Amino acid sequence: MGLMDGKVVLVTGAGRGIGREVSLDLAGNGARVVVNDLGGDIGGEGDDLTPAQAVADEIAKAGGEAVVNGGSVSEPDAAQAMVAQALDAFGRLDGVVNVAGILRDAYFHKMTLDEWKAVIDVHLNGSFYVARAAMEQFRAQESGAFVHFTSTSGLVGNAGQANYAAAKMGVVGMSRVIAMEGQRFNVRSNCVAPFAWTRMIENIPVTSEEMAESFRKFREGATAAHIAPMVTYLLSDAAGAVSGNVFGVRGNEIYLMTQPRPVRTLHKGDGWTADDLAETLEPALRHDLYGLESTGEVYAWDPL
């Protein structure tokens, strides 16, 4: 018996990297899987069903069941078709994992409208389209679970990724509201911020021996396979009391991430003027204000 016996899960971006490992882990725990992947490069260009088919074949070889879908998450009709395919092939849908993603990195002052829109369309709009299509089924059957992929590029920040960061923070807000609204229908929604060596990481230029050594440790200590068990757990009935949260997974480390809540309060009985704030705010909050550390500075230790 596996945690996902009898369940059907749609995984987007499932042909490579994290999506592939998630699909294999779900199948290994008894799920039947819709393996979605457009088959494009990291910029979203091209289409090739070979990676998705290879994952489905691997699942079948191990005794599981899977079907392939090559639709683009950035197209609402394609998202509807993914859900319809799950119902046609397996008669039900119990979980959705929104992994599909692209990168169009550029410094903000150089970022083009196309670079901005392409990333928002896949990560944020794509997650919405697929989740929205599945939500109708989940509400009708009064059960279902979402796992959306966010990133510390949004939660913490990374230079050159304003488009990606904006999309990934948007995903967190969307997931939270899905969780709140879905509660009455037994529908759960959580986010995972993964740290894993993937082809997206491979495209970062190595500029020093120190950086090369850090990447070597990262490649060995934080793999896509480390992410998958957390996703399987969150989709399973064992996580029935877990919804609306954000988790980080980095090698053998799992983090429950904070969500914005008041940290300190300033009150002035007769109200504030700009001059009052200029005199008071920064000194009063100095030790609680967030600095401009990047993801790499916040997570400065090697994954174990």
Please identify which of the residues 107, 129, 164, 255 carries the catalytic annotation.
164
**Contact, 74 vs 123, CB < 8 A?**
no
Whole-number Å distance between alpha carbons of 20 and 186: 27
Whole-number Å distance between alpha carbons of 9 and 79: 14
**Which structure tokens are listed for 46?**
């091209």
The CA distances from residue 264 to 18, 143, 229, 256, 292, in Å, are 38, 39, 37, 21, 19
SS3 212: helix
Whole-number Å distance between alpha carbons of 39 and 51: 7
DSSP state of 106: B
Whole-number Å distance between alpha carbons of 294 and 296: 5
Based on the residue annotation, tell me whether 290 is a catalytic residue of this protein. no
Whole-number Å distance between alpha carbons of 194 and 151: 7
Whole-number Å distance between alpha carbons of 103 and 126: 14
Q: Which residues on neighbouring strands pair with residue 148, listed in sequence order?
A: 98, 191
**Contact, 263 vs 199, CB < 8 A?**
no
The residue among 126, 15, 148, 35 whose CA lies nearest residue 79 is 126
How many H helices and E strands in the chain? Answer: 12, 8
Whole-number Å distance between alpha carbons of 129 and 294: 30
Q: Counting beta carbons within 10 angstroms of the beta carbon of residue 284, is it exposed (0 to 12), middle (13 to 18) or buried (19 or more)?
A: middle
**Residues with catalytic annotation?**
164
